[in-house]
Amino acid sequence: MTVVSTYYGLKDALVSSDGIKADSSVNKLLPAIDSFKAFLITDTANRTVFLPYMDTMILESKILLSMDPKNYDGKRAPFERISDQMYAVLKKADLKHAGVYREFCPMAFNDKGAFWLSNDAEIKNPYFGKKMLECGEVTDSLK
């Protein structure tokens, strides 16, 4: 699924604390989401289930893009919301053998905690980057 693989690029950019790469990744993610959204418009069985998630991912992606590339810490809040929406889509699609891991950092956002998705069970935290690269745990998998 193109949307998921482009999402991983965004996650990896935030792991690296690279706002420019994050923006570049979002510029790839938006067309992937738009393409999936266009498909959903013709898919009457799934349209009402998935379209709200796509709309939220588009909105949060645009918020992320509106921030200065040097503000990679600020970009992490919309990333969290994108991550939550992406996970909801994948769970509702009931994917099996997808190799997707849902990971959680309990210390993100002043100990509120935050989730992200990864294609690897090894923790590489996008909320703290190099500061706390391995902080987190796998909480679910679609493998």
- pLDDT for 143 equals 72
Answer whether residue 141 shows pLDDT above 70: yes
- pLDDT for 61 equals 97
- pLDDT for 4 equals 93
Tens of pLDDT along 98-128? 899 999 999 999 999 999 999 999 999 999 9
Lowest mean pLDDT of 17-21, 46-50, 99-103, 112-116, name the range.
Answer: 46-50
Q: Which residue has the higher pLDDT, 71 or 94?
A: 71
Asked if 90 and 4 touch (Cβ cutoff 8 Å), the reply is yes
CB atoms within 10 A of CB 65: 16
Q: CB under 8 Å to 92, separation ≥6 — which residues?
A: 49, 50, 53
- pLDDT for 76 equals 97
Answer whether residue 70 shows pLDDT above 90: yes
- The span from the CA of 123 to the CA of 117, in Å, is 10
- pLDDT for 117 equals 97
Determine whether 68 is exposed, middle or buried from the number of CB atoms within 10 Å of its CB (0-12, 13-18, 19+): exposed
